[in-house]
């Protein structure tokens, strides 16, 4: 497949866009619970405020991914970042639950535009270094995902929600300016027509479905870990610094591993099937280790295993999608794959929480580990099935 190769300085702005969408999704969660009473809200309203950003992403990411194929990635990325900046600035003045909900909805819709378009642009600009650049892109998204709640909690503690929204406005505006100045305009490619039957068939082909399941599983485990490892630490009597250390170790491991595994993938030292299995098995081991025995040592071990597993599986999933997708459909593919990630992001914590409510947190972690094991085995089986050797029309 022909790629529009360019230098790192042209791709780096996309890393900032990835950090922005991940930070925007999760930074507010840490402090919203302490602020919602001041807004006169109920627990139901709190749940809606936490979910509305992700709901917008689930609905709109495939739409904007397809749009980036039609009009180009750069206009979609720029438009999304500018709207995100405007909505964040409006959030500074949101003084009611309704206003806050509308701001979060707008932020989610904006992120739905620039997130899949940025992934598609990384795929087209990375040339033969697809794994390496997706490793870097994923590392920055993971940092935004994990560090967002920590930074958000600090900003809210010192100056309230307006400080957090001001920070989000600044980073999104900086990312927009960087993209505008440095990202090249990618040519719009001629499209191949597909019937609805073609689209349905493409969606269930192993080349798309397996990496999307891997991304959903790794993101679901990451979301559950960020939420429940500190909870376990609190029950063990750990202080906030120790709990933050557990989460920070997860983020650091993932951020360090992703660029490395991406380079390994580019040099064909590891296959997608092997890397997928290794990454997901490490995630399973991380969940099981803390489910069996809960102590500060096992929390650290769990964060190390989870961070490494997520760091292996995430760039391999995106690189596999990029390598098996025609360039003219890369936006739609990334939008659909991001939808899978969002479902995993929501489903992982929900599964652990639901089982924990009826049994225990350990049981919830065992349940999530079992689901990821099933995904691993299903993925291995599906990759053994015959797939189309041509990339024309291979992916949704």
Q: What is the pLDDT of residues 180-189, one digit of tens each?
A: 999 998 888 6
Give the integer Cα–Cα distance in Å for 108 and 112: 6
Whether 178 shows a pLDDT value over 90: the answer reads yes
Interval 115-123 mean pLDDT: 90
Determine phi and psi for 38, rounding to 5 degrees.
-65, -25
How much of the chain, in percent, has pLDDT values that exceed 70?
A: 86
CB 221 within 8 A of CB 280: no
Mean pLDDT of 10-25: 90
| Least confident range of 198-207, 244-253, 300-309, 360-369 | 198-207
pLDDT tens figures, 348-380? 888 998 898 888 889 999 999 999 999 999 999
Q: Please give the Cα distance from 260 to 41 (Å, whole number).
A: 45
Interatomic CA distance for residues 262 and 265, integer angstroms: 5
For range 313-318, the mean pLDDT: 91
Q: Model confidence over 95-111: pLDDT tens digits?
A: 887 888 899 999 999 99
* Mean pLDDT rounded to a whole number for the chain: 84
Please give the pLDDT value at position 175: 96
Q: What is the pLDDT of residues 291-304, one digit of tens each?
A: 999 999 999 999 99
pLDDT surpasses 70 at 33:
no
Q: pLDDT confidence of 252, banded at 50, 70, 90?
A: confident
What's the rounded mean pLDDT across residues 391-395?
41
Quick one: average pLDDT of 152-179?
91
Band (pLDDT 50/70/90 cuts) for residue 200 is low
Q: What is the rounded CA–CA span in Å between residue 222 and residue 218?
A: 6
How many residues are there in the chain?
396
Domains observed in the chain: 1-185 (1.20.1250.20), 195-396 (1.20.1250.20)
Distance CA 298, CA 196 (A): 49
**Within 13 Å of residue 340, how many CA atoms lie on the same side as its CB?**
23
Q: What are phi and psi of 321, to 5 degrees?
A: -60, -45
Sign of CA dihedral 98, 100, 101, 102: positive
Average pLDDT on 72-100 reads 92
> 238 or 315: whose pLDDT is higher?
315
Q: What pLDDT is recorded for position 393?
A: 40
| Contact in structure between 145 and 250 (CB atoms under 8 Å) | no
Which pLDDT score is estimated for 370?
97
């Amino acid at each position: 497949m022909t790629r529009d190769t360019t230098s790192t300085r042209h791709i780096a702005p996309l890393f900032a866009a990835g950090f922005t969408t991940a930070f925007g999704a999760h930074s507010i969660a840490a402090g919203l619970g302490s602020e919602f009473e001041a807004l006169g809200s109920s627990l139901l309203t709190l749940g809606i405020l936490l979910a509305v950003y992700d709901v917008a992403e689930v609905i709109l990411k495939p739409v904007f991914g397809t749009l980036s194929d039609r009009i180009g990635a750069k206009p979609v990325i720029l438009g999304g970042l500018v709207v995100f900046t405007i909505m964040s600035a409006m959030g500074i003045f949101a003084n009611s639950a309704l206003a806050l909900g509308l701001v979060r909805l707008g932020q989610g819709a904006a992120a739905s535009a620039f997130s899949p378009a940025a992934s598609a642009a990384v795929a087209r600009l990375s040339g033969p270094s697809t794994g390496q650049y997706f490793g870097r892109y994923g590392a920055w998204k993971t940092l935004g995902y994990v560090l967002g709640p920590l930074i958000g909690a600090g900003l809210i503690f010192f100056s309230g929600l307006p400080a957090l929204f001001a920070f989000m406005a600044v980073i999104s505006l900086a990312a927009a300016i960087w993209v505008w100045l440095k990202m090249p305009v990618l040519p719009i490619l001629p499209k191949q027509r597909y019937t609805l039957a073609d689209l349905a068939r493409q969606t269930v082909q192993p080349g798309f479905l397996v990496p999307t399941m891997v991304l959903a599983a790794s993101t679901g485990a990451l979301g559950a870990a960020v939420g429940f490892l500190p909870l376990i630490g609190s029950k063990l009597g750990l202080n906030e610094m120790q709990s933050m250390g557990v989460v920070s170790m997860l983020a650091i491991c993932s951020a360090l591993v992703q660029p490395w595994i991406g380079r390994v993938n580019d040099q064909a030292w590891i296959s997608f099937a092997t890397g997928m299995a290794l990454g997901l098995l490490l995630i399973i081991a991380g969940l099981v280790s803390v489910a069996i025995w809960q102590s500060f040592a096992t929390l650290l071990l769990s964060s190390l295993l989870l961070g490494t597993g997520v760091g292996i599986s995430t760039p391999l999933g995106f690189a596999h999608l990029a390598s098996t997708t025609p360039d003219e459909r890369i936006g739609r593919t990334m939008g659909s794959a991001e939808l899978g990630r969002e479902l995993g992001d929501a489903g992982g914590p929900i599964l652990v929480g639901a089982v924990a409510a009826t049994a225990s947190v350990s049981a919830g972690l065992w349940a999530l580990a079992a689901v990821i094991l099933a995904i691993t085995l299903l993925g291995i089986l599906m990759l053994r099935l015959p797939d189309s050797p041509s990339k024309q029309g291979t992916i949704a």
